[in-house]
Amino acid sequence: MRLAYLILVNNNPRHLKKLLQALQPGGHDIFLHINAKSSLDPRDFVGRSIFPLSKRIKTYWAGYSITRAICQLIKTAQSYGNYDRLVLLSESDYPVRSQAYIQSFFSANPDTNFINIVRMPGNGKTFDRMQYYHFETVFSPNRFIRILSLGFEYAIQQFGIEHNLPKPYDEYELYGGSTWWSFSGDFANYLLNFIDVNQEFVNFYRYTWAPDEMFFHTIIMNSPFRESVRPSCTFKEWDFQSGHPMIIQKRHVSVLAKDLIDADYGRFQPLFARKFDDNSKDVIQLIDDLLIKSL
């Protein structure tokens, strides 16, 4: 099985290098999209089987630009190697199993698409994410553009202008879930073709809130691949106070050692975890010693 890792990168260089070191023993190709806003130099990460994308997109939290970057990673990887398995990670992720174990797991499940999915509304994925127009320019570093974008969003809502899926997609079942997934090569190719021939669908998601948590989910669940879906293999513990995943701590290692974990989206096998940062050296050492070397 030919496997490729697709990694979204912002500005976490020390942990990124640690992640790359952990992934390389598998001999798999690794594709990096480095946010165009990042100060990181792609040349610092070029290596054996590591390919930073030359086309860099400015990505903004909860914006369609993240979905664009993910699609660019898929397109680049499949044009390069037409892989059997593509795994989407962020620079804040880390494997919690050896590369040999991960390879064996995916080889045993060649047709399964691992992605957290829920029928909307559910698990916090509410219709207001798409009911009205959302513009990622609300996160622009330019204060004037931010204020103008927020005002425009507010005015649209006050006038009751709704944002609806165009025909023939208005009968689609709508789904949401988590960003991080592992797709079969067959579905990745189906996805790229769908994007090419369904521009109205794509354009609709340009003006939604966090489309990376809805776009791929709705496509796969309205496709011939819907029965192939199982929960994602990436562990995270949500911090509802901050609205972000917690940084992985030593207490999480015993949970990650389990063969199966029960979570909101269903029972899953942990292969990766998030989030880690540049201060996660000690817990990563524990994972390396207790999990990766022993499982």
pLDDT in tens, 126-137: 999 999 899 998
Domains, the chain, in order of start with CATH, read: 3-125+167-292 (3.90.550)
Return mean pLDDT, the chain: 94
User: What is the structure's pLDDT at 241?
Assistant: 75
Whole-structure pTM value: 0.95
Q: Does 294 have pLDDT greater than 70?
A: no
Instruction: Give the model confidence (pLDDT) of 168-183 as tens digits.
Output: 898 999 999 999 999 9
Bridge partners, 274 (sequence order)? 93
Q: Quote the percentage of the chain above a pLDDT of 90.
A: 77
Instruction: Give the model confidence (pLDDT) of 242-252 as tens digits.
Output: 778 999 999 99
Confidence of residue 197 (pLDDT cuts 50, 70, 90): very high
User: What is the structure's pLDDT at 295?
Assistant: 64
Closest listed residue to residue 135, CA positions, set 195, 65, 31? 65
